[in-house]
Homo-oligomer: A and B are copies of this chain.
């Protein structure tokens, strides 16, 4: 069997490696358009923060290892332009104008996602960046090193924007953030958002929410983000307003798409074409809370889905239940974590959501070093089910969220969660963990 994979990042290389491990003499070909494979994309902000590390430190496994040790036919610089699902081939270009045509028995589309750039003037000027692949990281790192960058403007206020805010601040830059929508992290309750706002203020980050952006201008080496009512200046601009699934190849091949244009896959990662799988940021997934399709482009899902594809086409049947919408990030000294549905999402999916928002201490009564931790918990009044949780705090927020994430997979009620034996010792929490306090408060409202 000939297994061909388009894309050599998390999902693609996970699938390639595991397929070869499952069946060592399987023919596995990976076609990767860039020169980078298997790197920690999520690590880029932290790498950029540190002038003493090279961006290539983020490479987890080099192309030669895949080729020589694992026997994978890994071709970098190979851009696929068309999938011919009828004749089961992919065609494209390599080495500046040479064309290739590769036949497959089974195909995996793992083309990832690409950063969104608005269709506005000036977004293609030098010094305006996005950050999704290693080449982007390399460009940003080189730019900061070679240019006299003192101020940066970040357009967007999501995970990447906030992580890059910390990274650029660590490099000594003055950082301003800006976006059209009026609130930072609109999915989060105000009492949690305010902790993040305080943290950004402490570090002198400009948070300019609610400013419609008109264009970027260049003025003697200074870039200006011109909004309807505000102008922000800097030597570099990062556009971090989100990503979209790279599903155009699939779409042109007649494969069905799901939410937000991601490639629709079933629980075995198969697309609407019997011989074509999709995995990673280009593909959709089921949400374990709603049971509906969703699109969550995150690394764990990409790796897991890559493995599942390899298992499924080498004879082990694997069905992935889905994602819980868990996401975590760090911004300066704060940990931010979420899993499941926000109140607005819960309403959209027909639940009758109730929320409790509490502030608690991260450690026991009278234990030194305790800090504030804020928890939101959302439940469904009709069924009693736990629907989601969000946490913000200086310690323990990220690892704590794994508990409600498991509860969401198990379809637990808030009452059942409130009875869980979450353990206690004074350096780590009050006797009632803040999540239990939130669950107890939520129960009263349900």
Contacts and interface: CB of A to CB of B under 8 A. Distances in A.
Interface of A: 10, 40, 42-43, 46-47, 50, 53, 57-58, 60, 288, 298-301, 303-304, 320-330, 335, 337, 339, 364-368, 396, 398-410, 412, 416-417, 419-428, 431-433, 435
Contacts of A57: 366
Given A320-B419, A400-B399, A403-B403, A366 B43 contact: yes
A399 B426 contact: no
Given A339-B423, A423-B337, A425-B330, A43 B364 contact: yes
B421 A301 contact: yes
Contacts of A326: 421-423
Contacts of A401: 423
Nearest to A304: B419
Given A40-B366, A405-B403, A423 B300 contact: yes
Given A299-B424, A300-B431, A406-B412, 10 more contacts: A42-B424, A43-B365, A60-B365, A300-B432, A322-B421, A324-B421, A328-B423, A339-B421, A402-B420, A406-B410
Which of A328, A426, A433 counts the most chain B CB atoms within 10 A? A426
Contacts of A335: 428
Contacts of A298: 423-424
Contact of A327 (B407, B412, B417, B423): B423
B431 A364 contact: no
A287 to B, nearest CB: 10
Copies of this chain: 2
Contacts of A40: 364-366, 426, 431
Nearest to A288: B421
Contact of A403 (B58, B402, B412): B402
Nearest to A410: B410
A332 to B, nearest CB: 11
Which of A40, A431, A433 counts the most chain B CB atoms within 10 A? A431
A167 to B, nearest CB: 12
B425 A420 contact: no
Nearest to A416: B409
A346 B436 CA distance: 28
Given A40-B364, A423-B326, A427-B330, A402 B320 contact: no
Contact of A409 (B402, B420, B433): B420
A409 B431 CA distance: 19
A67 B173 CA distance: 57
A157 to B, nearest CB: 17
Contacts of A404: 406
A406 B420 contact: yes
* CB-CB nearest 3 A-B residue pairs: A399-B399, A410-B410, A326-B423
A48 B31 CA distance: 62
Contacts of A299: 424, 431
